[in-house]
A = this chain, B = another copy of it.
């Protein structure tokens, strides 16, 4: 960060990075130096804030931030004239602009190239000279690690696995044999890529293991959260397409396919051979049953169990509502007897019908 960047410089860099698809209009002092990002309520004069939700308009009007990025509409509404001491950055996608700016202000450190003396790297592994392998990491034969990729302390890259360029494998990640992690992916500590899928055939009251010979294939720009598990395919592959973001403690079973740019919140479980569309959003702790498919662009509410395919994009939910425990006891008991309630309504309807016609 070293002294930060001026607002004008940030705007230039972002315009270039997005090939001019995200341009900003600066109102006020473009030469102001910004050193970091902060929430709108607590930002100081050397920090950048953003406004992306009208609930924070009052806070925006009173902010002490050095600069604030916001939409043209919000700008007009809040700042009829430019405020003293705050540089306004007007832009069509203020939250995205803020994200790009925050990246410029806090760039992930480039790895020290080279293999730590305490790592175990097989002679037949191919490690790019510009990659970094941390202490106590293990890299098996025929594995490949791309340019500028980082393999964190204590991580494991199995036989024949491939880690793409600029990928960041954090400490304590396991990528098993033959699995593929794309370029610029970030995989957080404790994630397990390519453990065996859960496949067994019943035989005489016991279970016979079906060898899991497929792979996990993860596209580019995917982020995998801490302690998330993605199982290798039974015969074909488990596939996570480009740009997906998976939060912590997500479970993806064998032979699933997750469409590009889908985001999956924490604690979600996806059973075997489920196919999730592109651009979906799965809320925290949603559970997806196996062998079904969900259309592109679906939003699944947190805690919802999806037990059948969804073919129409939309927002779906299914969660028992919260109540005081005593109310719950009474109402949950009635849920068990909804069929009786329905029958009593039917009986009443028939009685009244008869009376009506008599």
Contact = CB atoms under 8 A, between A and B. Distances in A.
Contacts of A302: 271, 287, 289, 305, 307
Contact of A325 (B223, B301, B324): B301
A55 to B, nearest CB: 10
Interface string A322-358: 1111011111111111110110110011011001100
Given A307-B302, A327-B336, A271 B265 contact: yes
Contacts of A166: none
B211 A103 contact: yes
B338 A334 contact: yes
Contacts of A37: 211, 213, 235
Contacts of A323: 316-318, 336
A208 to B, nearest CB: 4
A188 B60 CA distance: 42
A267 B251 contact: yes
A314 interface: yes
A205 interface: yes
Interface in A75-119: 93, 95-96, 98-100, 102-103, 105-106, 108, 116, 118
Nearest to A140: B153
Interface stretch (A3-11, A26-34, A143-151, A190-198): A190-198
A186 interface: yes
A202 interface: yes
B320 A324 contact: no
Interface in A286-317: 287, 289, 299, 301-308, 314-317
Contact of A198 (B98, B225, B338, B339): B225
A242 B214 CA distance: 27
A192 B313 CA distance: 35
Interface string A171-186: 1101010000000001
Interface in A200-242: 200-211, 213, 221, 223, 225-227, 229, 231, 235-236
Nearest to A211: B106
A211 B318 CA distance: 33
A169 B227 CA distance: 17
Nearest to A345: B344
B324 A331 contact: no
B190 A174 contact: yes
A266 B341 contact: no
Contacts of A345: 341, 344-345, 348
Given A285-B305, A305-B320, A269 B271 contact: no
A356 to B, nearest CB: 8
Given A99-B208, A341-B342, A345-B348, A315 B320 contact: no
Nearest to A304: B322
Given A153-B156, A195-B248, A207-B263, 8 more contacts: A99-B208, A138-B153, A156-B172, A174-B189, A249-B249, A285-B285, A314-B324, A334-B342
